[in-house]
Homo-oligomer: A and B are copies of this chain.
Amino acid sequence: MAQYQSTLLDNAVREFSTLPGIGKKTSLRLVLSLLRRDAGEVRRFANSITELRDNIRFCKICHNISDTEVCSICGNIRRNKHLICVVENIQDVLSIENTGQYTGLYHVLGGVISPMDGVGPKDIEIDSLVERIQPEEIEEVILALPTTSEGDTTNYYIYRRLSEMNIRITQIARGVAIGNELEYTDEITLGRSIVNRIEFKV
């Protein structure tokens, strides 16, 4: 007997509960909310994801998601072509774009080096990063990877690969978040923010 008196409902709930962070109850709630809509709306919902999956393309330069061969950031003549910011994934590009503080280019690795998960340097877009860098064109590579041991390993690996080239290699500042109280900041972050202190400017 189907758990929900309907094999079709069972199937849909099981599929939705495979999504990250979506449990059985939330899955049921999402499915039932879709069930209340027009069949056409539900079809549009379903098509949006299959069409994305079937037609997805990645920028051949930076590996960001794109509908075209070269993404709209790499293809934008007003971006600073001398700066490359290295990030783990597509969400990170969006997060940095949302700050409005960065006008350079990106390079999306598609992961970080993680021997535990069997992810080596060849499994992510590091070779394409190295090939992409023409020292006469690129002035600086900004490392914006997660502050985990995997992120640190990847930072170090990239640093080693690029150290022969005559370019500046930087990493984004780590420290106490704006608006946060010192007492609620974890010790590692706080410690690093003291070690990496900068000149006070007004």
Q: Complex: how many Å from CA A26 to CA B183? A: 10
Contact with B along A1-38 (1 / 0, CB 8 A): 11111111101101110111110011011111111010
Q: Is A94 an interface residue, CB under 8 A from the partner?
A: yes
Give chain B residues whose Cβ lies under 8 Å from the Cβ of A67: 2, 5-8
Residues from chain B with a CB closer than 8 A to the CB of A55 are 8
A29-64 contact mask (Cβ, 8 Å, vs B): 1 or 0: 111111101010011111111111111110100001
Please, how many residues of chain A have a CB less than 8 angstroms from a CB on the other chain?
A: 62
Greatest chain B CB density within 10 A among A9, A15, A46 is at A46
Q: How far is the CB of A26 from chain B (nearest CB, A)?
A: 7
B residues in contact with A14, CB < 8 Å = 48
Within 8 A of B (CB), among A64-121: 64-67, 71-73, 89-91, 93-94
Residues A5 and B51 in contact in the complex (CB < 8 Å), given A28-B91, A33-B19: no
Asked if A49 contacts B34 (CB within 8 A), the reply is: yes
Query: Is the beta-carbon distance between A49 and B6 smaller than 8 angstroms?
Result: no
Contact flag A54-B66 (CB < 8 Å), given A49-B15, A49-B34: no
Chain A interfacial positions (CB closer than 8 Å to B): 1-9, 11-12, 14-16, 18-22, 25-26, 28-35, 37, 39, 42-57, 59, 64-67, 71-73, 89-91, 93-94, 183-184
A-B contact pairs, 16 of them (CB 8 A): A1-B72, A2-B67, A2-B72, A3-B94, A5-B71, A6-B56, A8-B48, A8-B55, A8-B56, A12-B48, A15-B49, A16-B45, A21-B26, A34-B49, A39-B53, A46-B49
